[in-house]
Structure 1
Amino acid sequence: MQNAWGWKTARMTTVQLAPPPPAPPPPPPQPETGSRKKKLYQAIAEGRAPVEGDHEEPRLLLTKRESSFRKDLQWVLFNKFVPSLIQDGPQCGLVALWMAAQLLQPSADLSMENIVKTAMNQGYTAQGEIFSAHHMALLAEEVIGCWAERLTGGMGGANFCHILKHLADGQPILIPYDEDFNHEPCRRSGHRAHWAVASGVLLGLTHGSLNSEDFCADPALPWLLLPRHGCSGPTAGVQDAFIFAKQGKSLRYQLWSLELLTQSNAQLKEMDPQRAADGSVYIVPQGGVGQGLAGQVVLLHANRPTD
């Protein structure tokens, strides 16, 4: 185009430049790997502490579930406190053994590292797993110096009274079972096989089965009886029973029906197929999980009985 003086001028145009693209977002945080990755139960346990004492936490549990117990029975509580320990990886059996050891030998300096090392050296475990009650009994005797009595044939029948008396006498039992999402016993054919340590029992007895001089009423729960020092557990009149137990995914005591725990313990048949195919090495006894765990428990005695 020409201006007033006849000179040619260029047409001015405005070019709209596109804004620069936004900076890429920061990369997502990489998940922790190996032993640094925390499971939900480990995160929940952080910053918490177990309730200590033989009767303190069992009393709290019973207060919450008071309506669950038959009113026509006398209820007696036997329990010995065991400290809690959260497992790191598939170490539920070894953690249960460590907790039981604190009850039998509270002054002993027994570390988890020592238990794991001994179990691996003896060929009982590869990852921390224990799929054999026989191996558990041998390991307990080696690291604790106790007498480990392995019961077979289930937790009922002739073993029922033996188990109750052992707990009433203040000695622990290591019990394999299938663990539900809330840690309670379930029946998954062994796919959720887990170990717990039982340290107490709640017994419902017919009235008149007890020698009243051997027991006193609990100061907070008048319907609950506690044994006086030196009192042994009842041998007759038991109509119902619950187990107090701890396991490696919670700091808290669990209160389980002995009947449901017995059923869970009896049906441990096989390892979880997904776990069996995950590429890891596990020590499984000849005959599989069913041969190693089903219907078996390990009673730990401070001393071997004399003939």
Structure 2
Amino acid sequence: MGPTCGLTALSMIFEGSPSAATLLEMAIDKGYSNKGEMFSAIQLNELLSIGLADNRHLVEFREVTNTLVGGNLDDPDIKMQLRLGSIFLVPYDPDRNHTPCLDKGHKAHWALIVGYLIDQFDDYYVFARHGKTKNLALWSLRDLALSNANLVEFCQPAGHPEQVFILPDGGIGGRNGLRCKFIMIEHFKAKEEVVL
């Protein structure tokens, strides 16, 4: 199995059902992925739409919407959506400790943003989950936005030197890729909510 971070983040929304392995089969069937890579936010959003349709029991009777957003993650409108309870699937570049960094997309990774915090200076931080750890991370929204905007080129992963990955037209920095794109999910509430 190859890198499945986007599919793993997507599976987290549905509490593991469907699993990342099931989503991988779906992505391969649709021609979106060879080994789990998801370099198109458009295609991951399409898989999310299918998952929402199949998992109405998780969202009860609310009108859950998923929207592909293009632009700056650190925008006032996005901050308002965080305050209204929206969650986000966000591609970014991870550093060695998985925090957002600026590596031109060479290690593109997906995270699920599940909450926020505002400090005394009105700076926003987001709570993130991703497939490389079971721990909840706290990152600067500004750093995550810069990392998301920095996804401009694909780099063959060292752990998969011979693997052929499916890239969207224009690459990961193009209009069908990952740069300055993320998925907003409104009105979704998990079965068990934690309020800090």
Aligned with residue 241 of structure 1, among 121, 124, 138: 124
Q: Could you list the runs of 5+ residues in structure 1 that have no partner in the other structure?
A: 1-34, 36-88, 103-107, 207-238
Contact 1:172/1:300 (CA < 8 Å) preserved in 2? yes
Structure 1: distance between partners of 2:71 and 2:185:
18
1:67 corresponds in structure 2 to none
Question: Which amino acid in 1 is paired with 2:30?
Answer: Q
Instruction: Give, in angstroms, the shift of residue 95 of structure 1.
Output: 0.5
Structure 1: distance between partners of 2:20 and 2:134:
16
* Structure 1 residue 301 corresponds to structure 2 residue 181: no
Contact 2:89/2:182 (CA < 8 Å) preserved in 1? yes
Aligned with residue 10 of structure 2, among 97, 104, 110: 97
Instruction: Give, in angstroms, the shift of residue 183 of structure 1.
Output: 0.6
2:71 corresponds in structure 1 to 153
Per-residue CA distance 1:143-197 (angstroms, 9 max, x = gap): 22253211112213xxx23322333333320000000000100000000110000
Contact 1:138/1:148 (CA < 8 Å) preserved in 2? no
The ranges of structure 1 where at least 4 consecutive aligned residues each deviate by more than 6 angstroms after the TM superposition are none
1:143 corresponds in structure 2 to 51
- Compute the RMSD of aligned alpha carbons: 2.2
| TM-score between both structures, scaled by the size of structure 2 | 0.81
Question: Which amino acid in 2 is paired with 1:168?
Answer: R
Per-residue CA distance 1:3-30 (angstroms, 9 max, x = gap): xxxxxxxxxxxxxxxxxxxxxxxxxxxx
Aligned with residue 288 of structure 1, among 158, 167, 171: 171
* Structure 1 residue 164 corresponds to structure 2 residue 79: yes
* Structure 1 residue 118 corresponds to structure 2 residue 26: yes
Contact 1:154/1:294 (CA < 8 Å) preserved in 2? no
Residues paired across the two proteins, number: 176
SS at match of 2:26: helix
Instruction: Give, in angstroms, the shift of residue 302 of structure 1.
Output: 4.4
Instruction: Give, in angstroms, the shift of residue 277 of structure 1.
Output: 8.2
Question: Which amino acid in 2 is paired with 1:264?
Answer: S
Structure 2: distance between partners of 1:266 and 1:190:
9
2:103 corresponds in structure 1 to 188
Higher strand share: 2
Return the structure number with greater relative CO, CA threshold 8 A, min gap 6: 2
SS at match of 1:95: helix
Larger Rg: 1
SS at match of 1:190: coil
Residues 274/246 of structure 1: CA separation in 2 closer, same or farther (3 Å cut)? closer
SS at match of 1:299: strand
Q: Could you list the runs of 5+ residues in structure 2 that have no partner in the other structure?
A: 54-63, 189-196
Structure 2: distance between partners of 1:125 and 1:155:
25
| TM-score between both structures, scaled by the size of structure 1 | 0.53
Instruction: Give, in angstroms, the shift of residue 117 of structure 1.
Output: 1.4
